[in-house]
């Protein structure tokens, strides 16, 4: 693909990537997944996203100055989510738009996201939402859909500011307290309840009653998005209360049909 017309009037440049394929026709495009580039410069990230040998891409890249580039047409399946899951769907590439934010990420000090970049992201999300039905709970972090592999866009990402712009599902995190959290090695009904709530919200959570490494990783992913003050994978009362409030305020249209067995142990 040598060129294409941008899907959004907000796009400043089209930089075609060869890394894409057909979307599965039976799947509705109903999600936006946010990433950081995790490289030292935006130029290096763009080169990788357009390199056929890298086999990775996204639909949009947003620079630190707010410039929006489009790499893959929205109708095509960009290769950004990898092995992923949300609310019963295991092919998130077929159901989502992938947006990369130029940011060094954890390997380069997890820098703050500039105001111009977040303003551009909010505008782009609204624009995408004008073309597709994107439930609030389907504005997602890469770490939400790939919690065992990924940490982006990280605990410094300003989800609250997106929520103020009417984008995404968010509640003010419940305050931390000096309670005894559920943690690796815990077991019993409280662990089952936690795992079940994570699964209902959309995470790839098996309900086993045993708090192992994967539950710890899921809780850490949840904390990165919804309770970023402390990301330790331990389900303290602040984490659990925040999850309960999110479930209580979750839009009804958000859920896909859940499978009979959810997640992996």
b/e 137-174 (16+ beta carbons within 10 angstroms → b): bbbbbbbbbbbeebbbbbbbbebebbbeeebbbbbebb
pLDDT of residue 2: 66
Q: Rounded to whole angstroms, how far apart are CA atoms 166 and 154?
A: 20
Do 182 and 157 fall into the same domain?
Answer: no
Q: Does residue 1 fall inside a structural domain? A: no
* CATH code for the domain in which residue 48 is found: 3.40.80.10
Domain termination site, one of 98, 133, 164: 164
For residue 1, what pLDDT is reported? 53
Angle between helices 237-248 and 213-226 (to 10 degrees): 70
Residue 24 lies in a domain: yes
Supply the Cα-derived Rg of the chain in whole angstroms: 18
In a domain, 215, yes or no: yes
Give pLDDT, residue 77.
98
Look at the block and give the residue holding tokens 């936690």.
194
**In the annotation, is 100 catalytic?**
yes
Q: In this structure, are 27 and 139 located in the same domain?
A: yes
Instruction: Provide the domain limits for residue 119.
Output: 13-164
2: in domain: no
Cα(194)–Cα(243) distance, integer angstroms:
9
Residues 36 and 142 both lie in one domain:
yes
Which CATH number is 220's domain given? 1.10.101.10
Domain membership of residue 6 (yes or no) is no
Task: Looking at the structure, tell me whether residues 199 and 252 fall in a common domain.
Answer: yes
Confidence at residue 40, expressed as pLDDT on a 0 to 100 scale:
95
Residue 8 inside a domain? The answer is no
> Is the distance from CB of 203 to CB of 218 less than 8 angstroms?
yes
Please give the pLDDT value at position 257.
42
* Residue 158 and residue 192 in one domain: no
Residue at which a domain ends, from 128, 143, 164: 164
**Domain shared by 94 and 210, yes or no:** no
- Same domain? 135 vs 178: no
204: number of Cβ within 10 Å: 25
Q: Is there a single domain that holds both residue 179 and residue 158? A: no
Among residues 164, 185, 210, the one where a domain terminates is: 164
Task: Determine which one of 64, 74, 100, 155 is catalytic.
Answer: 100
Tens-level pLDDT at each residue, the chain (265 residues): 568 999 999 999 999 999 999 999 899 999 999 999 999 999 999 999 999 999 999 999 999 999 999 999 999 999 999 999 999 999 999 999 999 999 999 999 999 999 999 999 999 999 999 999 999 999 999 999 999 999 999 999 999 999 999 999 999 999 988 788 999 999 999 999 999 999 999 999 999 999 999 999 999 999 999 999 999 999 999 999 999 999 999 987 654 443 333 332 2
Instruction: Tell me the C-alpha distance between 98 and 33, whole Å.
Output: 5
Domains contained in the chain, number: 2
Its pTM stands at 0.94
Distance of CA 4 to the CA centre of its chain: 27
> Does residue 157 share a domain with residue 112?
yes
Q: Is residue 60 part of a domain?
A: yes
Domain identity same for 43 and 68? yes
Same domain, yes or no, for 139 and 196?
no
Assess whether 153 and 36 both reside in one domain: yes
Q: Flag whether 106 is in a domain.
A: yes
pLDDT of residue 179: 86
């Amino acid at each position: 693909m040598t060129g294409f017309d941008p899907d959004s009037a907000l796009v400043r440049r089209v930089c075609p990537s060869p890394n894409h394929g057909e979307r599965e026709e039976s799947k509705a495009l109903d999600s936006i997944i946010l990433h950081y580039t995790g490289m030292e410069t935006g130029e290096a990230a763009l080169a990788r996203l357009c390199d056929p040998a890298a086999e990775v891409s996204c639909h949009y890249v947003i620079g630190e100055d707010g410039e929006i580039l489009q790499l893959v047409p929205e109708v095509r399946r960009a290769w950004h989510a990898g092995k992923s899951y949300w609310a019963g769907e295991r092919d998130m590439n077929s159901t989502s738009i992938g947006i990369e934010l130029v940011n060094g990420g954890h390997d380069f000090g997890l820098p703050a996201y500039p105001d111009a970049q977040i303003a551009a992201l909010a505008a782009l999300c609204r624009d995408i939402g004008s073309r597709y039905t994107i439930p609030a709970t389907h504005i997602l972090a890469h770490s939400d859909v790939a919690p065992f592999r990924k940490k982006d866009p990280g605990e410094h990402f300003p989800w609250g500011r997106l929520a103020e712009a009417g984008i995404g599902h968010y509640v003010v995190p419940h305050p931390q307290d000096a309670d005894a959290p559920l943690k690796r090695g815990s077991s019993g009904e409280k662990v089952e309840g936690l795992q079940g709530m994570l699964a209902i919200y959309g995470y790839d959570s098996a309900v086993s009653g045993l708090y192992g490494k994967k539950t710890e990783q899921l809780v850490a992913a949840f904390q990165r998005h919804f309770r970023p003050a402390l990301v330790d994978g331990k389900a303290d009362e602040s984490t659990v209360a925040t999850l309960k409030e999110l479930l209580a305020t979750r839009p009804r249209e958000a859920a896909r049909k859940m499978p009979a067995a959810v997640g992996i142990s």
